[in-house]
Amino acid sequence: MLAEQYPQRVGRLVLEEVMALRLREASVPGKPPGDLPYDWDMVLAVRKQIDAPDPAWLYRLGSITASSLVIGGGPDSHIP
């Protein structure tokens, strides 16, 4: 979103495991047991953006001018 709104501030962009911008049924994930290597509160905070992304995001993708590397896939990935 920063690269879309302020392209002059982002020279290079790396995106990892990027979700597809599509509507999906809203859900509340259960917290996995044990210590997590990430901030669980952040997972809950971005849930609305994941379940119902703003259609304007897709429209503004063309405004990103930074060199971009998109990484996804692997045995535990939701991206084939």
pLDDT digits (tens, 9 = 90+) for 24-76: 777 788 899 999 998 999 988 888 777 777 888 878 888 889 999 988 777 77
Residue range of the domain that includes 52: 1-18+39-72
27 in a domain, yes or no?
A: no
CA 37 to chain centre: 17
29 in a domain, yes or no?
A: no
pLDDT at 33: 93
Residues near 40 by beta carbon (within 8 Å), at least 6 away in sequence: 31
Q: What is the domain count for the chain? A: 1
78 in a domain, yes or no?
A: no
Q: Is the pTM of this model over 0.75?
A: no
31 in a domain, yes or no?
A: no
Interior angle at CA 9, CA 51 and CA 6, nearest 5? 50
Question: How would residue 80 be classed by pLDDT, with cut points 50, 70 and 90?
Answer: low
pLDDT at 34: 93
Question: How would residue 22 be classed by pLDDT, with cut points 50, 70 and 90?
Answer: low
